[in-house]
Structure 1
Amino acid sequence: MESVLITGAAGYIGSHLLKLLLEQSDFSITVIDNLSTGFKDTIDTLKHIRDFDFIEADLGNWDEIRGIFKAKHFDAIIHFAASIVVPESVENPLKYYLNNTANTAHLVKLANEFGVKFFIFSSTAAVYGEPDITEIDGGIKEDFKTNPINPYGASKLFSERIIIDAAKANPDFKYVILRYFNVAGASPDLMIGQKTKNATHLIKVASECACGKREKMYIFGDDYPTKDGTCIRDYIHVMDLAKAHINALEYLKTNKSDIFNVGYSKGLSVKEVIETMKRVSGVDFRVEVTERRLGDPAVLIADSTKIKTEMGFKPEYGDIEFICKTAYEWEKKLR
């Protein structure tokens, strides 16, 4: 494997994977990003590690993307580019089906047409929908039934099906689908981190409150059937998630296509995370309870046994205080 295409690498998770690949591999790397939610200065920062090709383009401009495939050969594609805000997907579902599903279908079509061997897809725990808490002792396994409750999760599940069916029809095309749980934190050296505007992610919002960038934050519902009434999630540090993609590239060289959850198999409530951020930052910021958001399941915890045993995934940053600390220190740097 010599040449890798990464879509969406000016964004949060993609940029951390790009950082690791630049530091740990000698791949020829091409990045495509339309900068709608990513940042050009993130790309410029990462070019200090070593050079790579950056193309500002929209995956929805199919003629332009085809031209890129005609001009370059790729051994692997790592596909991050997507819309990811659950409440927005409920309000504007067509945006998600066009940007996420239709553009993934076209990217897979080009991959097959131009002989790309490996495809790594950024999916989500949202494909599982609202799991029955009584059925997931120890966390959600990959064979748990998929039943998304919002268009974001549905758009990703449709994309998964497209990739799987394409691989069935083409034995030379292999994939790894990574279903992310809740991603947070920043690179420990603080070179890059989450810069999302109008962020909705809990730890990012709590970091902004701790830094005085927001007056207050909200807990969206405290009447869920959980230990303290707030939603429970499995939080994974962004650098561990990035490493899972490198593991996936190695895995595909000698193994069959497959689907893997990426998380720590540890559930934390919204209240527990907020209290951790207050403790790490030393700031007692204002928190108010409001009504539930559309599309929020009560509990999402990964069973990460499969990725650890079959792919050799060894997370390093699984402590919630470390996750919150890197997020907070990065947020302070963003001043």
Structure 2
Amino acid sequence: MKLLVTGGAGYVGATVARMARDAGHQVVIVDDLSRNDDRQVPSGVVFARLRVHDIADVLTAEAGFDAVLHFAGLIAAGESMAHPEWHWDNNTRASLALLDAMRAAEVGKLVFSSTAAVYGEPTELPLTETSPTNPVNTYGDTKLAVDRAIASYTRTGALGATSLRYFNVAGAHACDDGIMIGERHDPETHLIPLALDAALGHRDKLSLFGDDYPTADGTCVRDYIHITDLARAHLLALDAIEPGEHNIYNLGNGIGFSNLQVVQAVREVTGAQFDVENAPRRPGDPATLYASSDLAHSELGWKPEKPDIADIVADAWAFHRTHR
């Protein structure tokens, strides 16, 4: 298939683009490089520096695309509360432009990078695809709006789509040629790379936001999924798309790790001790999020192969100490 991958210079997008290329697909990446650089764009693909708002310049009927994998967008929940306008523009308005361009070009398959943030504070655990959606931050609001727009577009019968709701993606993907793909966010807001920075001495201390949550140790609890496991799910989802259907799958391990447990795993893997400070809660951070991925297991045949937090941290460390 000829695939258009938006946000393909980023952590998840580059990993999936490389897997798709290695599986024999023809890949075109679109990324505006506003939060990435092009170091992780795989060889053997076409790259266009472009905002998704302008995707119709590339996504034309004549281009002959078979499907789109849509990763482009902003991901920081805290930032979304301070600058909601950035997230509504980059996540929702741009995605609507993509859907319109797909409709005009008669491209009938879409895999969308959604998020667990659509659930907000859970009323039940583990979260399933039928759990209530009630985002507590703008990031989750914008992604849920796109999920709903996709559902609307699939009702025409011309589009088949899958939304994959990620939990916390971490680790690094080791490619067959020795290249590694890992987290390089700018700014970095994710706990594991920040903790690894502290382990390397690149920051004086690590801040944990909130120590008074209703959890066992007072810190947030999250479900961590290895980047390689997550990326595999996208190609399985692509193969399973049917016209007129919008399917939603949670992608997680079904296990929650607290921020302090993650810090301890980083200390054990790296052998480094570093200072940790408690900081005030960030607006829009739920206390606990972890998933049931039973539906993805049964319908896509997908199952995480690296669920252990120590393995996830170890792979992230192998990347981080040589690439940061």
TM range (shorter): over 0.9
- Residue 69 (1) aligns with residue 59 (2): yes
What does residue 141 of structure 1 align with?
A: 128
CA distance in 1, matches of 2:75, 2:36: 12
User: Are 2:268 and 1:257 equivalent residues in the alignment?
Assistant: no
Counterpart amino acid of residue 182 in structure 1: N
| Identity %, equivalent residues | 39
Could you tell me which residue of structure 2 aligns to residue 29 of structure 1?
Answer: 27
Are 2:155 and 1:165 equivalent residues in the alignment? Answer: no
C-alpha distance in 2 between matches for 1:21 and 1:275: 35
Contact 2:167 2:222 in 1 (8 A): yes
Note the aligned Cα RMSD (angstroms).
1.4
Give the superposition deviation at 1:198. 2.8
Gaps of 5+ in 2: none
Which residue identity lines up with residue 220 of structure 1 in the other structure?
F
Give the Cα–Cα distance (whole angstroms) in 2 for the partners of residues 241 and 254 of structure 1.
23
After superposition, where does 1:210-249 map in structure 2 within 5 Å? 210-249=199-238
Match for residue 85 of structure 1? 76
- The one-letter code matched in structure 1 to 2:145 is F
Distance 1:255 1:309 in 2: 21
What TM-score do the two structures reach when normalised by structure 2? Answer: 0.96
Task: Report the CA distance between 1:141 and its aligned residue.
Answer: 0.6
Specify the SS of the correspondent of 1:54: strand
Kept in 2: contact 1:130–1:298 (CA 8 A): yes
Q: 2 CA distance for matches of 1:129 and 1:253?
A: 29
**Residue 106 of structure 2 corresponds to which residue in structure 1?**
115
Is the CA contact 2:158–2:244 (under 8 Å) kept in the aligned structure 1?
no
Cα-to-partner distance string for 1:211-249 (whole Å, 9 max, x where unaligned): 111111011111110111110000001111101101101
Name the residue aligned to 1:3. 2
Give how far 1:257 is off: 2.8
CA offset at residue 295 of structure 1?
0.6
Q: Structure 1: how far apart are the matches of 2:284 and 2:141?
A: 11
Q: Name the CA shift for 1:281/1:255 in 2 (closer, same or farther; >3 Å).
A: farther
Q: TM-score scaled to structure 1, two decimals?
A: 0.93
Please list, as runs of the form range in 1=range in 2, the aligned pairs for 1:41-56 lying within 5 A after superposition: 41-43=39-41, 46-47=42-43, 51-56=44-49
How far apart in 1 are the matches of 2:170 and 2:59? 33
Q: After superposition, give the CA deviation of every residue in 1:113-140 in whole Å (9 maximum; x if it has no partner).
A: 11111100000000001113xx22xx10
Aligned: 1:38 with 2:1: no
> Is 1:271–2:264 an aligned residue pair?
no
In structure 2, the partner of 1:126 is 117
- Aligned partner letter, 1:322: D
User: 1:265, 1:89 → 2: CA distance?
Assistant: 26
Count of equivalent residues: 320
How far 1:255 sits from its partner (Å)?
Answer: 9.5
Give how far 1:291 is off. 0.9
Q: Contact between 2:159 and 2:244, CA under 8 Å: does it hold in 1?
A: no
Q: Distance in 2 between matches of 1:78 and 1:67?
A: 17
